[in-house]
Structure 1
Amino acid sequence: MAALLLPNRKQSMPNDFNQQIIDEFRANAGRVGGPFEGARLILLTTTGARSGAPHTTPVGYLPDSDRILVIASAGGGPKHPDWYHNLRADPLATVEDGVFTYQARAEVLTGDERDAVFARAVEADPGWAAYQAKTSRVIPVLALHQVAGGPPNAPSWGAALKLVHDAFRRELALIRDEVDRSGAGLGAQLRVNCLTVCQGLHHHHTNEDDGMFAALDGQRPDLAPTLARLREEHQRIAARVARLQQVVGAPDADPAEVRREVARLTIELEAHLAYEEEQLIPVLDATG
């Protein structure tokens, strides 16, 4: 069974098993091993509809631009999972993605939008259709919209930079694997995955240029050559991102060409991230 589906199976598994996954997730910045390795996973904390107590559940998700999507499959069981009922009663939840912890508002998708998103999920992994076939209920699809958040879950700014970088590394590795398994065509969800990581890179580099780099310009003039190089690399990576967006956005996108562009972006980005970490992590940790 595909890794993406595995986290949703846990909705019906014993609480002690869930707790093992939660502990491993939090100890390893969102990474878990075993059969769940490589799955896109969040920890979703909802407020109990009856108890009013917080409940944390590991849940698989789908990227979707500036929101994420979760599917209340419960492994194809006859009842909606508890976290779904909790969100219907109180749509505000806490999301942990391994890098950030943030507040989100849940929206239950309906009608054509729900059907289109679920079809995307099935195209990416037929296991979703198998879950739907096992139950008479229509499996709900929800969007989680971030409404508030804070800095990365890290003990220092240098560690925070490495944490964010590693998240991009992991997502690109997942996309490379998905493209390799995509066959002759490029599925709609895979297109969304590619475009979402492109958007994330754009936001990250823009925030660095306007925030961290601007602050270091004033505090550490000796870093001028380093920051100039990093800004130039941002521009080159932006061109790679634009090219990937162009290839992915073509109606007849060729998976082989997408694979090449993802590989090129990965190589250039990895060199950039490694240099930035080497040069700036000691500075960030020294300045606090």
Structure 2
Amino acid sequence: MPHDFNQRIIEEFRAHHGRLSGPFEGARMLLLTTTGARTGTRHTTPVGYLPDGGDRVLVIASAGGSPRHPDWYHNLLAHPRVTVESGVFAYEAEAVVLRGGERDAAFARAVEADPGWAEYQQKTDRVIPVVALHEIAKAGPPEVSADSPGEAIRLIHDVFRRELALVRAELDRGNGSTLGAQLRVICLTLCQGLHNHHQGEDAALFPQLADRHPGFASARERLVREHERIAELTGELRRAVSTRDPAAARAEVLRLTEELEAHLAYEEEQLLPLLEAAVA
């Protein structure tokens, strides 16, 4: 993409915490910052990504089917340590180029989810690389691009709301006979993300708030019960995904959406005043 076009996307992405308008509205995008192979200068590029479970995401060096690999790919070959911005989270990652069967399987999943990837491959003689970005673990809570703890909670909640909306749309676009491999990975990644978020709240955030605000006790009990309920629902979604039945998966996604939306609304109602008071 031309530099000016890229820069406009980067500015909109950062200003709206990962939300984009126009042709990229609703797309899974991230900002990838690499170190120049020859210059050592840092370069930021908007790229599409695929959730891949655990601590990694996949990016594809398609360059729209160009005969040449994109500059960011050459950069990470020389300097695999990169920075990833999701719009809400920012973290350091190690870039690993997938090889052989692992690359082919990942690319096939991408094509199944979006045939446009196959069109790019048909336009070029090069084998389009697939790169895994492995988050480099660090102590403490994740780095959230927010100005206050309350805003951080809202933004994290919006990540789950947005992802569920994307999953529902992707299920609606499916062929109706089976659940695609990449969509299965996306559902499982969502389930794991909810588990990690709620585990962090139960273990760290809620005890801190309870120590400072004794009146939070009853709300905490309800929130913990709701976390247990969400865990039951994500378990049902995992089971539905394992059957590869899109109708069963969609039913579970709708159930999860309804109950999670109610939970997030109640949690924001209870937590945000306490979190904002702490920084007032």
Q: Please give the range of the TM-score, normalised by the shorter of the 2 chains.
A: over 0.9
Equivalent residue of 1:46, what SS?
A: strand
Structure-1 separation of matches of 2:53 and 2:214: 36
Equivalent residue of 1:35, what SS?
A: helix
- Kindly indicate whether the alpha-carbon contact (under 8 Å) linking 2:62 and 2:69 is maintained by their aligned counterparts in 1: yes
Structure-2 separation of matches of 1:17 and 1:179: 31
Q: Within the alignment, does 1:179 sit opposite 2:167 as a pair?
A: no
Select the residue among 78, 84, 96 that pairs with 1:89. 78
Select the residue among 43, 67, 72 that pairs with 1:55. 43
Q: Which residue of 2 aligns with 1:260?
A: 251
Select the residue among 191, 204, 221 that pairs with 1:198. 191
- Show the 5 A alignment for 1:43-82: 43-66=31-54, 67-82=56-71
Select the residue among 140, 151, 161 that pairs with 1:169. 161
- With the length of structure 2 as denominator, give the TM-score of the two structures: 0.96
- Kindly indicate whether the alpha-carbon contact (under 8 Å) linking 2:81 and 2:94 is maintained by their aligned counterparts in 1: yes
Structure-2 separation of matches of 1:261 and 1:101: 30
The number of aligned residues is 274
- Show the 5 A alignment for 1:30-179: 30-66=18-54, 67-148=56-137, 150-179=142-171
- With the length of structure 1 as denominator, give the TM-score of the two structures: 0.94
Equivalent residue of 1:32, what SS?
A: coil
Structure-2 separation of matches of 1:217 and 1:114: 47
Once the two structures are TM-superposed, the CA of residue 217 in structure 1 deviates from its matched residue by 2.0
Q: Which residue type is aligned with residue 241 of structure 1?
A: T
Q: Which residue type is aligned with residue 249 of structure 2?
A: V
Q: Which residue type is aligned with residue 52 of structure 1?
A: G
Structure-1 separation of matches of 2:41 and 2:198: 39
Q: Within the alignment, does 1:281 sit opposite 2:272 as a pair?
A: yes
Q: Which residue type is aligned with residue 105 of structure 1?
A: E
Equivalent residue of 1:103, what SS?
A: strand
Structure-1 separation of matches of 2:233 and 2:127: 41
Q: Which residue type is aligned with residue 271 of structure 1?
A: A
Q: Among the aligned pairs, what percent are the same residue?
A: 64
Deviation readout 1:92-151 (Å, 9 max, x if unpaired):
011000111110000000011000000111111111111101000000000001115642
Structure-1 separation of matches of 2:270 and 2:146: 19
5+ residue gaps in structure 2? none
Select the residue among 28, 31, 34 that pairs with 2:16. 28
Structure-2 separation of matches of 1:208 and 1:275: 14
- After superposing the two structures, state which structure 1 stretch, 20-29 or 254-263, moved more: 254-263
Equivalent residue of 1:135, what SS?
A: coil
CA RMSD after TM alignment:
0.8
5+ residue gaps in structure 1? 1-12
Q: Which residue of 2 aligns with 1:231?
A: 224
Once the two structures are TM-superposed, the CA of residue 167 in structure 1 deviates from its matched residue by 0.4
Question: Which runs of structure 1 show a deviation greater than 2 angstroms over 4 or more consecutive aligned residues?
Answer: 148-151
Q: Which residue of 2 aligns with 1:4?
A: none
Equivalent residue of 2:136, what SS?
A: strand
Q: Within the alignment, does 1:242 sit opposite 2:242 as a pair?
A: no
Q: Which residue type is aligned with residue 124 of structure 2?
A: T
